[in-house]
Amino acid sequence: MIAAAAAAFVLLFPSVLVAGCYSSIFSFGDSLADTGNLLHIVGNHSTDFACLPYGMTYFGRPTGRLSDGRLILDFIAEALGLPHLPAYLDRRRVGGDFEQGANFAVAGATALDNSFFKERDIRIDPTIVSLGVEIRWFRQLLPSLCSSPSDCADTLKDSLILMGEIGGNDYINPILQRRSLEEVKSFVPSVVAAISSAIIELIELGARTLVVPGITPLGCSSAFLAEFQTQNVDDYDASTGCLIWLNEFSAHHNSLLEAELQTLRGLHPHATIIYADYFAAVTSILNNPNQFGFGDDTLVCCCGGGGAYNYNPRVQCGSDGCSLRDEPSRCVIWDGIHMTEATHRVIAGGLLQGPFASPAIADACRLQSVIYSSTSRMVS
């Protein structure tokens, strides 16, 4: 059912636009949404993703996006008639204009503060920021965009807020450090609470439309498939080839997140809180790759260091010796962790029109128009 609906919108997107719905976009999250912030933290020449073939498909150069081209965020901005979102750290250094939005997402970002992991002896790169830091950056920027609290509320009322994806790195780091699944699972309520707290803070500032993604199916990541490869066929999903235990973990996080969002909807009925189902989007593609224009070897990453999944942690995409498959547009996974522009396009279409967002962003635009209209009549 989902696959059939998804296949239908692929034919329509990107021709379906919702331009005029929102005057700006503000984005938070990790590498699935970062448009250059980490690049400006670590420097242009100290990391593999600062090199081609990153950015090859659309920009023709690396931009700090961990993909061959545009991200989900970029496609949403285009559909809304807005420019690609500037990375906050990039534009702050050159005195840029954030009137149409800003991106605070940082590759590797966690929902929980670094102190949470330090207390548990879990290694997190000290350059990596948390969702709390991103929210503080936003608060620091906001006064430059509006003159008073009521003016700021009006600004945010007309903005689309993208809350991630965030949370995946809170689990990826400890899992790769071989912490027990039971221990990592115990982090989920805290991760969801951190996301919820950020949503509440933004709503109290005036945000009215927020898109909150769940995490992707970690068991379908080439990096995890290579790291936890086993000869036991029962460990793998027969239809996708993904690791079952990791996908069950991802589904657990998403279930708790969805339940929390439902609670927030009841507490804040004037806000539209959209759940973006990245898990269903990715698994729909993997179950029906040809319908979406992808090749059959969906779990083999496009740019990597060889092996069964073309992933080798010692030969990363962008480093010397990495191999690049033909036709990135036929690949689902880009570098083992992140997705290709082609995958991002499909997911963005499913968020704008359905079925991967509830409600779809286009429907949320119409819903908020009704709410604002009703509120205005009540005030008058």
Sign of CA dihedral 188, 190, 196, 199: negative
Q: Which domains does the chain have, with CATH numbers?
A: 2-296+341-379 (3.40.50)
209: β partners? 160, 272
304: β partners? 323
Helix (H) or strand (E) holding 284: helix 278-287
CA–CA gap between residue 62 and residue 264 (Å, rounded): 38
Residue of 31, 159, 221, 284 with catalytic role: 31
> Among this protein's residues, is 335 annotated catalytic?
yes
Sign of CA dihedral 51, 57, 61, 66: negative
Q: What pLDDT tens digit does each residue of the chain (380 aa) get?
A: 555 555 545 544 544 556 678 999 999 999 999 999 999 998 766 688 999 999 999 999 999 999 999 999 999 999 999 999 999 998 655 556 898 999 999 999 999 999 999 999 999 988 889 999 999 999 999 999 988 888 999 999 999 999 999 999 999 999 999 999 999 999 999 999 999 999 999 999 999 999 999 999 999 999 999 999 999 999 999 999 999 999 999 999 999 999 999 999 999 999 999 999 999 999 999 999 999 999 999 999 999 999 999 999 999 999 999 999 989 999 999 999 999 999 999 999 999 999 999 899 998 887 655 544 444 443 33
> Among this protein's residues, is 338 annotated catalytic?
yes
pTM comes to 0.92
> Among this protein's residues, is 45 annotated catalytic?
no
